[in-house]
Structure 1
């Protein structure tokens, strides 16, 4: 397995120049006062295709030879990587086939269709997505672009943290969602190069705690297909390439229950006026749960995506607001 370094992230920065949006860092005086520290929120829900996934997908497809791009690409996804792969293929004059769960959010499915990708659905509780991807690749001569288990995808994801650290160089910690592990691994590479003492914390649902368990075991630990509102984090095992980086460079991975994920979505809307999907709000949920465990100083939080169906989003926010009665937010907004 080829060793990755921060140079891979820098190459991705150049490849993505003019392609990926440099998403804003959001701040809230109320949140800073509430938590007793400066918090900056990287709004990757404002990225093209609505999530950070474009960075890795484009970096990977752009690195392919002309013959491979002409033949087309294929990848498995809960929805966000599929959108990113579809757009990347379109921008680079290729074609994309994506394997997504049959119950993927409608907003994600419609976006994938609009970008012209071929869609293959599967039952994520019974079928193995990667097996389907490999079968399609073999049958049609397609190049596989994984959502996490690829050095170019990891490097592209690392550009999120690279941008954060250009604007907020004094961060003491960065908190990110973790599914397959590509974003967490890329963040760790970027942070290590900037400041080896900086803590990098991954956050995942309690029911989808494969990376948490794997980090403690020192090896990838598979879990049953998780049931969680964070549909982008329903992985059953960390990607091997990403996990090697996580094991070496990541400080910790913590878990959050479902109700706190919904609370974080409401918190993001209340304080930052930004709409996050459950998977995208997980990192903030982790910060709210474990801020006392982080070192003193400013903290960066990645909101990784915002592709959520409006009815589901509204329902989750209504439930969170009703349950907490706004007790979970600081008294003064903005």
Structure 2
């Protein structure tokens, strides 16, 4: 799988942003280690999801591209698929929850996607997508449980190692596990001794429970502010990859997530959505046993004005 990530990096060259790595003396002093923040909030469409979407859609045959693609997403993956579709002239259909952040819904529509909204309390996004896929012969590009998507996401960590040098530890947000599994494989491929930690909201800790029990757990519609992690469970592909390549999983509270977003805004002057700040939240609250040189994936910056207002006033 590591070679798939290497090939994905070649495919993404010239298309994905080479996002910056930021450091902070204040943060290093607070934590007691050297911290390197990989700023995927500066990726195209504002999140790491562009990497997996581009890698998977660009590999489709011309016939598959001509028929179009479909996906389901709480926001960032939908935006990414929509943008890649616009770039590659592929028609895209996105199944998104009605309660997705308004900015994410608007962005997907703005990129030209056909957006179908659903009620997450009563409907299954997967069932809706599969029905439309069969009716229209579309290609499914799922948000995380797809080898090409996983390989694309892992390129963020390859870049981080190139920019920061060898790392002793990597902290990565976890929703469905596409980013975590891809980055874990990349980190272990670059340094087998690098300790990889996945971070989830405590209100959506299905992956933590799955990791620790080695049995797949599910949580339906978790009410966490970190909307990018509101997946029901890990996937059939991502779960075994995480068991094989991740060293530990930890969770953080809603208050700790909010404080991490505030730190990034007030101290480092960068906007990161709650899902993207999970790794930093774990560090600031001593959820992990520190190593000297630590990488943190800030996975995205797509946050609506109302959520940001509430966070900054907290």
- Corresponding residue for residue 296 of structure 2: 301
Task: Give the distance between the partners of 1:97 and 1:292, measured in 2 at CA.
Answer: 40
Q: Displacement, 1:271?
A: 2.3
Compute the RMSD of aligned alpha carbons: 1.0
Task: Give the distance between the partners of 2:288 and 2:78, measured in 1 at CA.
Answer: 36
Ranges in structure 1 where 5+ consecutive residues have no aligned partner: 320-334
Contact 1:35 1:291 in 2 (8 A): no
Ranges in structure 2 where 5+ consecutive residues have no aligned partner: none
Report the secondary structure of 1:174's partner residue: strand
Report the secondary structure of 1:290's partner residue: coil
Report the secondary structure of 2:265's partner residue: helix
- Corresponding residue for residue 157 of structure 2: 161
- Corresponding residue for residue 177 of structure 2: 181
Contact 1:220 1:240 in 2 (8 A): no
TM-score between both structures, scaled by the size of structure 2: 0.98
Deviating more after overlay: 122-131 vs 57-66: 122-131
2:308 maps to 1:317: no
TM-score between both structures, scaled by the size of structure 1: 0.92
Report the secondary structure of 2:259's partner residue: helix
Task: Give the distance between the partners of 2:9 and 2:155, measured in 1 at CA.
Answer: 6
Contact 2:282 2:288 in 1 (8 A): no
Task: Give the distance between the partners of 2:231 and 2:93, measured in 1 at CA.
Answer: 20
Q: Displacement, 1:139?
A: 1.1
- Corresponding residue for residue 273 of structure 2: 277
Report the secondary structure of 1:70's partner residue: helix
Matched ranges for 1:15-94 at <5 A: 15-94=11-90
Matched ranges for 1:56-205 at <5 A: 56-205=52-201
Contact 2:166 2:190 in 1 (8 A): no
Q: Displacement, 1:292?
A: 5.0
Task: Give the distance between the partners of 1:196 and 1:189, measured in 2 at CA.
Answer: 9
- Corresponding residue for residue 6 of structure 2: 10
Task: Give the distance between the partners of 1:82 and 1:292, measured in 2 at CA.
Answer: 32
Q: Displacement, 1:291?
A: 5.4
Task: Give the distance between the partners of 2:288 and 2:296, measured in 1 at CA.
Answer: 15
